[in-house]
Amino acid sequence: MIRRYALAPIRCLALFGLAVVGACVALLSALVVALVVTYPSAVAATKGLANLGRRLARDWGGVEIVGEYLPGPPAPQPRDDGWYVHDNQLFRSPRVPAFLAKTESLSKDPAIIRDWLWLALTPITGGLAVLLPPGLIAAGVATAAGWISLGPARPALAMPAGLALVLASLAVGPAMLRLHALWSRELLQPAARSWWHASGAGPRIGRWSSATWHGAGLAGLSLGAFGFFVLQVLAIVVSWGGLLPHAATFTRPYLDQYRRRAHTWTGVEFPTPYRPLPEPPERDSDGMYRVGRTLYADRSAAARAQRDWSVLTDAATWRDLLWMGTGPLVSVVGLVPAILVGFGFFGLVWQPLWWAPWAVPLGLATGEWVTPWYVWYGVTYLVPSLSVIPGWASPVVGLAVAALGVLIASPLLRVRVAWDRLLLAPTEAARLAHRVRRLTETRTDAVDAQAAEMRRIERDLHDGAQARLVALGLSLGAIDELMERDPDAARALVAQARANSASALSELRDLVRGIHPPVLAERGLGDAVRAVALDSPLPVDVTVALDDRPDAPVESAAYFAVSEALANAIRHSGAQRVSIDIRYQNGRLTITVTDDGSGGADPTRGSGLRGVARRLGTFDGTLAVHSPHGGPTVITMEIPCALSSPRTSTS
């Protein structure tokens, strides 16, 4: 017991030191958020300090803190052609996709966000609590030594007052350790166990904080795009624009990556705006290939010229150029919140470190506070009036500056996204071109799928029901011959013919059910999906919100898409429960299939989901798969349609 109280101030001092180091790591990790290469290292440092804090909270404060991190992504697997895929991009080596998958997994882990917030906020919250015991000891020593004046009675009261402060430090030390551990648990434990997340404050602060660093990340990417702008300008100047299409082949993948990152961080869709490249020209009657007003004898040269002309006349090429040229100016919008937060934490954390003596400033007796020039130099150089801020007010001003940066992050991020959508989103002409191309592809897929379905039906009829009906006819002929001379054998053949007819009928019913289930035709999509759910070996919750019925082709496509998604969940996910939600809103039939399995579903590596996407694409529908490793898997299917027929379901 005595050892516990005696070591408490030393442990409090160690925890405050950990808080200061953690704040520095949090600040550095925030500054390098746009440097993707250093991001995993920053996360590793943040995670290591947070785990150390959990152990100290358990050993010194008696509070157990659970850390639930998402499992890391599996190693990338090669495709059939030997390439590795990540986010629709192909790579020859697995190193880059493995690094990108790890970075993406870390950025989506809520435990990492909680670790960062704990490191950033502890110096001004739990850190102040553990600073009290060593501060009382420092004050007691200063009082006993006569450094702090107690008035005319100082010689008589100095030693007792100093001893009282030291004893008070020993008395409150364990309580401060406990308070620091409770604070750490509130921030570091999973959100479901935290009252401040349940109250809504945690998610709100998390969104504000995410907007700060997402804006800084987009600003960093746009600054990188300015280098491509310089490359394209040089290509225009040197070759009078002739090399611009070749330079665009380098810039377009980078800008597509920016669009995907902006969609991930902001939730705003940024479809690819580029016009589809034309097919190579065909040979004319004179044996030449015509591109515009120029004739080419070589088809490959004509194809290159046609491609270059398509890139030059594509409005998206020049819109990209304008966006990249304005990158440094627009990036200020995203960097301002991060800079304010950085300056705020600079004054919030570093200023108290230079109080002399530490934690009990000498100016306490005289009322004079001195702000070192190197602490607030970056701020006072920009705003000279801040040079009069007393040292004790530095943490308050730092907190206010950091809070201002976090509060303005979301509005500024919306401004940034509005500018990006203005130049990086496709124009109406580009949308129409992509729609025509998609409809052409889906029409081809529909024709191929219909032909394959017809071949399957013919094969099933030939190998199944047709063979049984032929056998039934032969049996009836044999029965006719045996009826009078061998009645027992005739009766045996009758029983066999009856069994063959029953088998043929069953196969015909299965075939019809595979083409269009009777329950779907009679009772609609909702009851048909409920029937499939009842036959599932897993518990399946089905929610249907349809006032009317869509057209029969749409109903059939939706039914088979749900059946395929449910079959995938049963066979591959290891799920314990599946939920299916079907509703109609905003002119679209939306179906969501969610399972609590292990995740990792990838439409690019399985024929089932690709088949669902092709089936939905016939009706201009879309398939979206969100399946992080560790689950859950959410498959969202949307089909634009109209509801026309009255609902027939009884439930």
Q: What is the pLDDT of residues 531-579, one digit of tens each?
A: 888 888 888 899 988 888 888 888 888 888 888 888 888 887 788 889 9
Count of CB atoms situated within 10 Å of the CB of 42? 21
Residue with tokens 């040229």: 325
pLDDT tens column, 381-413:
444 445 555 555 666 777 788 888 888 988 998
The strand pairing partners of 639, in sequence order, are 589
How would residue 198 be classed by pLDDT, with cut points 50, 70 and 90? low
Q: pLDDT at residue 75 above 80?
A: yes
**394 neighbors 347 (Cβ within 8 angstroms):** yes
> Angle at the Cα of 621 (from 617 to 622), degrees rounded to 5?
95
C-alpha 215/C-alpha 300 separation (Å) is 44
Q: What integer pLDDT is reported at residue 148 of this predicted model?
A: 60
Task: Supply the Cα-derived Rg of the chain in whole angstroms.
Answer: 35
106: closest CA among 49, 45, 39, 50? Answer: 39
d(CA 42, CA 288): 59
Binned at pLDDT 50, 70 and 90, residue 627 comes out as: confident
Angstrom distance (rounded) from CA 563 to CA 170: 68
Which residues 6+ apart lie within 8 Å of 62 measured at CB?
178, 181
Among candidate residues 368, 349, 285, the one with its CA nearest the CA of residue 24: 349
Distance from the Cα of residue 216 to its chain's centroid: 17
Distance CA(145)–CA(155), nearest Å, equals 10
pLDDT digits (tens, 9 = 90+) for 565-622: 888 888 877 888 899 999 988 888 999 999 888 777 777 665 567 777 777 877 778 8
Residue pair 449/615 in contact by the 8 Å Cβ criterion:
yes
Distance CA 51, CA 211 (A): 26
Distance of CA 585 to the CA centre of its chain: 25
CA distance readout (Å), 255 to 268, 320, 424, 513: 15, 8, 8, 47
The Cβ-side half-sphere exposure at 445, using a 13 Å CA radius, reads: 17
Closest to 641 measured CA to CA, from 581, 580, 566, 591: 591
Report how far residue 60's alpha carbon sits from residue 178's, in angstroms, rounded to the nearest whole number.
8
Residue 346 confidence (pLDDT) above 80 = no
Nearest one of 103, 341, 325, 336 to 223, comparing CA atoms: 325
The yes-or-no verdict on residue 650 having pLDDT over 70 is no
Average pLDDT over residues 347-365: 47
Q: Write down the pLDDT at residue 317.
A: 86
- For 640, phi and psi rounded to 5 degrees? -70, 125
| Residue 644: pLDDT band with limits 50, 70, 90 | low
pLDDT score of 200 = 60
What angle in degrees, to the nearest 10, is found between the helix axes of 39-61 and 2-31? 170
Alpha-helical (H) ranges within 108-200 are 110-121, 126-144, 154-188, 195-198
Given pLDDT bands bounded at 50, 70 and 90, which one contains residue 452? low
The model's pLDDT over 96-137, given as tens digits with 9 standing for 90+, comes to 888 888 887 887 788 888 888 888 888 777 777 888 888 888
